[in-house]
């Protein structure tokens, strides 16, 4: 049983797999499997039905796990019991078999079995049992629950105890739509349809299998009677284990027909005599439960809480990723302006209370024709992106979103299409769709890989994710749409997820150079922007040039209470502060949003103030108290976030060489370094700093492949792609390059080696300026891979 990262390997992008089917089954962390292995190697767990010490150990451990399951859902043991099953489907079947259905008999209304049409196959399948017993089946369209609600007439007979069952999914496993948890009380109290139309006792089955994988569920708020779940959807491991959480008073009315080992208080084998166990869990767990899997569950809970800090963090993180993907995918267009994706969703990913971390869609070609999901699946396979395609065992949702009628459904079957096959189009109409879904270990890079794949394979005029984002940011910059820069600091628990993951270097794949191209002379290999001066880099593949440099580069800075700029020299931890455009993380404990637009009228709390950058006076706008106190908490000293006033131009008289308008940067619009120079210096250092680590310390905007170390020092002009730059001098270096940009710790390298090898001349990299054409001040785009044509100073 090799415990060497077998599952966590999937997370490792070095292996190239992008796993986006967490709603099918999520991934398990390596530590969980390791801890479980060591537990069962250390202890002997016997059959829980025996009474020897190893059996006791099993029993007691299982008791602890039962309690933990209840605790996770905030369900007190006095109100709820846990019945372990082999999965959600088995739990549903258990309810169907033991519910005290009353058949309809002449005139007297019998029990009703009601379910939302968006229910999972496993719920609809209960019909197979109930209809045989004469129970009325009533499918309910999601909108009807509230639209057909009415007050129950006063004085109605309350003695009617005919039991009815209403089933609905907390979250659709098709679209990720979340249905109101308030339906539970609404149905139980007969305020909502269909309960308001039928007398009797209404019980609610909340299918939480999909919901609980990324969201908290509090049973004090929605006291459903039956809650079936599967644990692999929450933890990835163990599989083959689920549970039915049942309200103790609802369990009282369940019938026991079949009886298996462990369920009886007493029975006779020669006579029809059986008295079930008084204990609910014992009564319904036929035979020996999968006790080692239940023990594994304890480790699953441990790992989940340790890595993420809890379900609220998971919900926030995964919803942020889904929302980001939704925003970019929905704005992706072909060259002719036609959209690339038709996304099946009710809302617009406004809130994690109505939408889970699932995105369901079909792709279209430039004529608007649907591209079959099998085609998408095959291509995704080539890119090692794992998605789910088909109808997801949820015909109801599939029909309603795709607009397939019952007749068409039957025609499709005649055309040879059965569930799970690869006939994805019948007469040009889709028979299913594509689903991507996220888990707590998913990353922003997973979203980008997926979006790049769609752009490369299915968009007529291919665009990159950054081009798409630039378009959005450009409109945000010019007319002030409601876009934000989201800033993230590593005090949120979710950031620990990253620590269990591959290193920064392997995640950086999306801007990765292919090693053959390094041989070629002079290419642009990386573009970095630093939205907040002295804070972390934001790497992009394509980016817009603005009048002050790369769009948003050094647009903001952090100052102390006296308005003095903070740099990494005094506060190395600034490098741990990260950003995201298009707020891929919703604001929460570890993130904050500041508006991208620079309009003081719209943000009255932002006031004009003065500051200095390298001796130049700059007029700035304070970004408000919220950002200030958030940053002060992290840095442990009073500080504020400011940005340059939109109508202010820095007086550059002191710097005639670079007399171009500047952002809050120190010296010049752009800083460029060459890999050849980095490799040179690094080989002289006695510390093992890898090239990427050294590159990040020099905080350049542009990184190029060079031929000779430091030859760029002799250049006077260069052209990158189609844009012309002037070399405006060399960049002097100080101890700031000693700050490791991944950890915020300081080392003497690479300054020591640099100083030695350069004969005391400690410069590294060159400053560039760029004069953009006046008529289109942001027309130029820089892209990774562009060829560079340098010109040296004539002799």
Ligand X SMILES: *Cc1c(COP(=O)(O)O)cnc(C)c1O
Ligand Y SMILES: *[C@@H]1O[C@H](CO)[C@@H](O)[C@H](O)[C@H]1NC(C)=O
Among residues 393, 457, 609, 614, which one is catalytic? 393
Question: Is 122 an interacting residue with respect to ligand X (CB under 6 A)?
Answer: yes
Round to whole Å and give the CA distance between 781 and 795. Answer: 32
Which of 322, 328, 331, 372 is CA-nearest to residue 349?
322
What is the SS3 assignment for 619? strand
**In this complex, which beta carbon is closest to ligand Y, that of residue 266 or of residue 278?**
278
Indicate the Cα dihedral angle 344, 350, 351, 356, nearest 10°.
20
Question: Is 210 an interacting residue with respect to ligand X (CB under 6 A)?
Answer: yes
Choose the contact partner of 52 out of ligand X, ligand Y, none; CB within 5 to 8 A by kind.
none
Retrieve residue 265's tokens: 């208080």
State residue 583 phi and psi, 5-degree precision: 25, 75
Provide the minimum distance between the beta carbon of 373 and ligand Y in the complex, in angstroms, as a whole number.
30
**In this complex, which beta carbon is closest to ligand X, that of residue 230 or of residue 433?**
230
Round to whole Å and give the CA distance between 656 and 712. Answer: 21
Of 102-110, 157-165, 207-215, 243-251, which part binds ligand X (CB under 6 A)?
A: 207-215
**In this complex, which beta carbon is closest to ligand Y, that of residue 144 or of residue 711?**
711
Question: Is 89 an interacting residue with respect to ligand X (CB under 6 A)?
Answer: yes
Residues 571, 532: contact at Cβ < 8 Å?
no
Question: Is 395 an interacting residue with respect to ligand X (CB under 6 A)?
Answer: no
Round to whole Å and give the CA distance between 530 and 182. Answer: 45
Enumerate the H helices of 73-142 as residue ranges.
88-98, 121-124, 127-130
Choose the contact partner of 711 out of ligand X, ligand Y, none; CB within 5 to 8 A by kind.
ligand Y
Provide the minimum distance between the beta carbon of 596 and ligand Y in the complex, in angstroms, as a whole number.
9
| Member of 13, 112, 120, 323 binding ligand X (CB under 6 A) | 120
Choose the contact partner of 64 out of ligand Y, ligand X, none; CB within 5 to 8 A by kind.
ligand Y
Provide the minimum distance between the beta carbon of 285 and ligand X in the complex, in angstroms, as a whole number.
17
**In this complex, which beta carbon is closest to ligand X, that of residue 176 or of residue 555?**
176
Cα distances (angstroms) measured from residue 782 to each of 519, 696, 769: 21, 19, 14
Question: Is 209 an interacting residue with respect to ligand X (CB under 6 A)?
Answer: yes
Enumerate the H helices of 212-290 as residue ranges.
232-235, 248-251, 280-284
| Member of 8, 26, 111, 173 binding ligand X (CB under 6 A) | 173
Check if 393 is active-site. Answer: yes
Question: Is 88 an interacting residue with respect to ligand X (CB under 6 A)?
Answer: yes
User: How big is the site for ligand X, counted in residues (CB under 6 A)?
Assistant: 12
644: enclosing H helix or E strand: strand 639-644
Q: Is 470 exposed, middle or buried (0-12, 13-18, 19+ CB in 10 A)?
A: buried
Instruction: Name the residues that contact ligand Y, by CB under 6 A.
Output: 61, 63-64, 66, 77, 81, 279, 281-282, 298, 302, 475, 479, 481-484, 583, 587, 593, 600, 608, 621, 645-647, 708, 710-711, 714
Provide the minimum distance between the beta carbon of 661 and ligand X in the complex, in angstroms, as a whole number.
55
What is the SS3 assignment for 400? helix
Round to whole Å and give the CA distance between 210 and 170. Answer: 8
**In this complex, which beta carbon is closest to ligand Y, that of residue 642 or of residue 694?**
642
**In this complex, which beta carbon is closest to ligand X, that of residue 232 or of residue 530?**
232
**Any idea how long the chain is?**
795
Residue span 239-278 as binding mask against ligand X, x where in contact by CB under 6 A, dash where not: ----------------------------------------
Provide the minimum distance between the beta carbon of 348 and ligand Y in the complex, in angstroms, as a whole number.
11
Neighbours of 128 (CB within 10 A): 10
Question: Is 230 an interacting residue with respect to ligand X (CB under 6 A)?
Answer: yes
**In this complex, which beta carbon is closest to ligand Y, that of residue 50 or of residue 481?**
481
Provide the minimum distance between the beta carbon of 636 and ligand X in the complex, in angstroms, as a whole number.
44
Choose the contact partner of 714 out of ligand Y, ligand X, none; CB within 5 to 8 A by kind.
ligand Y
Residue carrying the six token digits 């120079």: 677
What is the SS3 assignment for 417? coil
Choose the contact partner of 88 out of ligand Y, ligand X, none; CB within 5 to 8 A by kind.
ligand X
Of 84-92, 627-635, 746-754, 781-789, which part binds ligand X (CB under 6 A)?
A: 84-92
**In this complex, which beta carbon is closest to ligand Y, that of residue 484 or of residue 705?**
484
Residues 141, 133: contact at Cβ < 8 Å?
no
What is the SS3 assignment for 467? helix
Provide the minimum distance between the beta carbon of 637 and ligand Y in the complex, in angstroms, as a whole number.
24
Choose the contact partner of 608 out of ligand X, ligand Y, none; CB within 5 to 8 A by kind.
ligand Y
Which of 370, 408, 403, 407 is CA-nearest to residue 389?
370
Round to whole Å and give the CA distance between 512 and 784. Answer: 9
Question: Is 87 an interacting residue with respect to ligand X (CB under 6 A)?
Answer: yes
Round to whole Å and give the CA distance between 207 and 57. Answer: 32
Cite the beta strand spans of 472-511 per DSSP E: 484-488
Round to whole Å and give the CA distance between 597 and 606. Answer: 12
Residues 21, 388: contact at Cβ < 8 Å?
yes
Question: Is 118 an interacting residue with respect to ligand X (CB under 6 A)?
Answer: no
Residues 500, 472: contact at Cβ < 8 Å?
no
Provide the minimum distance between the beta carbon of 16 and ligand X in the complex, in angstroms, as a whole number.
27
Provide the minimum distance between the beta carbon of 503 and ligand X in the complex, in angstroms, as a whole number.
34
**In this complex, which beta carbon is closest to ligand Y, that of residue 53 or of residue 155?**
53
Question: Is 93 an interacting residue with respect to ligand X (CB under 6 A)?
Answer: no
Residues 407, 42: contact at Cβ < 8 Å?
no
| Residues engaged in binding ligand X (CB under 6 A) | 87-89, 120, 122, 169, 173, 207, 209-210, 230, 233
| Active site positions, annotated | 393
């Amino acid at each position: 049983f090799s415990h060497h990262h077998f599952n966590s390997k999937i997370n490792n992008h070095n292996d190239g797999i992008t796993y986006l089917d967490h709603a099918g089954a999520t991934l398990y962390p390596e530590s969980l499997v390791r801890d479980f292995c060591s537990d069962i190697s250390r202890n002997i767990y016997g059959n829980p039905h025996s009474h020897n010490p190893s059996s006791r150990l099993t029993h007691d451990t299982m008791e602890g796990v039962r309690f933990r399951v209840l605790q996770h859902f905030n369900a007190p043991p006095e109100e709820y019991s846990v019945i372990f099953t082999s999965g959600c489907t088995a739990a549903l079947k258990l309810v169907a078999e033991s519910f005290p259905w009353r058949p309809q008999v002449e005139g007297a209304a019998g029990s009703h079995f009601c379910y939302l049409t968006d229910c999972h196959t496993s719920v609809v399948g209960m019909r197979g049992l109930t209809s045989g017993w004469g129970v009325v089946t009533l499918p309910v369209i999601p909108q009807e629950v509230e639209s057909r609600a009415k007050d129950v007439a006063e004085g109605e007979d309350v003695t009617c105890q005919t039991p009815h069952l209403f089933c609905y999914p907390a979250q659709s496993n098709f679209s990720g739509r979340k249905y109101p948890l308030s339906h539970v009380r609404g149905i139980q109290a007969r305020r909502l349809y269909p309960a308001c139309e039928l007398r009797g006792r209404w019980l609610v089955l909340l299918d939480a299998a999909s919901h609980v994988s990324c969201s908290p569920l509090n049973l004090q708020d929605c006291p459903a009677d039956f809650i079936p779940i599967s644990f692999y959807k929450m933890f990835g491991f163990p599989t083959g284990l689920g549970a039915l959480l049942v309200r103790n008073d609802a369990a009282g009315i369940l019938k026991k027909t079949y009886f298996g080992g462990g369920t009886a208080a007493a029975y006779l084998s020669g006579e029809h005599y059986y008295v079930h166990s008084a204990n609910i869990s014992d009564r319904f767990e036929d035979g020996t439960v999968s006790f080692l899997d239940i023990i594994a569950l304890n480790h699953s809970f441990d790992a989940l809480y340790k890595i993420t800090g809890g379900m609220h963090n998971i919900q926030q993180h995964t919803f942020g990723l889904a929302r980001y993907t939704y925003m970019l995918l929905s704005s992706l267009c072909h060259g002719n302006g036609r959209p690339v994706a038709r996304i099946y969703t009710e809302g617009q990913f406004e809130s994690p209370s109505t939408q889970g971390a699932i995105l369901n869609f079909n792709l279209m070609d430039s004529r608007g024709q649907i591209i079959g999901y099998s085609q998408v699946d095959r291509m995704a396979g080539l890119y090692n992106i794992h998605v789910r395609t088909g109808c997801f065992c949820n015909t109801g949702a599939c029909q309603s979103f795709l607009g397939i009628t019952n007749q068409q459904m039957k025609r499709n079957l005649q055309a040879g299409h059965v569930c799970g096959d690869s006939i994805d189009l019948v007469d040009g109409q889709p028979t299913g769709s594509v689903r991507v879904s996220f888990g707590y270990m998913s990353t922003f890079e997973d979203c980008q890989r997926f979006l790049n794949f769609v752009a490369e394979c299915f968009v007529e005029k291919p665009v990159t994710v950054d081009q798409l984002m630039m378009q959005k940011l450009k409109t945000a910059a010019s007319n002030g749409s409601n876009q934000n820069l989201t800033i993230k600091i590593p005090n949120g628990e979710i950031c620990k997820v990253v620590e269990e993951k591959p290193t920064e270097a392997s995640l950086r794949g999306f801007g990765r150079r292919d090693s053959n191209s390094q041989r070629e002379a002079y290419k642009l290999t990386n573009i970095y922007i630093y939205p907040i001066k002295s804070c972390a880099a934001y790497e992009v593949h394509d980016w817009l040039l603005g009048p002050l440099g790369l769009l948003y580069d050094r647009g903001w800075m952090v100052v102390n209470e006296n308005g003095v700029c903070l740099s990494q020299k005094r506060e190395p931890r600034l490098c741990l502060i990260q950003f995201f455009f298009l707020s891929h993380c919703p604001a929460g404990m570890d993130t904050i949003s500041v508006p991208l637009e620079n309009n003081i009228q719209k943000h009255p709390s932002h006031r004009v103030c003065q500051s200095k950058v390298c001796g130049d006076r700059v007029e700035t706008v304070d970004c408000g108290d919220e950002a200030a106190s958030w940053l002060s908490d992290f840095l442990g000293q009073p500080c504020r976030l400011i940005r340059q006033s939109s109508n202010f131009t820095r007086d550059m008289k002191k710097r005639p060489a670079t007399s171009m308008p500047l952002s809050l940067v120190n010296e010049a619009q752009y800083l460029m370094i060459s890999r050849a120079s980095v490799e040179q210096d690094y080989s002289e250092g006695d510390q093992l700093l890898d090239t990427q680590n050294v590159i990040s310390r020099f905080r350049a905007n542009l990184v190029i492949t060079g031929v000779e170390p430091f030859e760029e020092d002799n250049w006077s002009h260069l052209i990158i792609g189609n844009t012309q730059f002037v070399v405006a001098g060399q960049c002097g270096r100080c101890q700031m390059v000693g700050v490791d940009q991944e950890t915020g710790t300081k080392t003497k390298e690479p300054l020591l080696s640099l100083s030695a090898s350069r004969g005391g001349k400690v410069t590294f990299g060159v400053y560039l300026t760029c004069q953009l054409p006046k008529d289109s001040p942001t027309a130029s785009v820089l892209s990774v891979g562009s060829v560079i044509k340098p010109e040296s100073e004539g002799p």
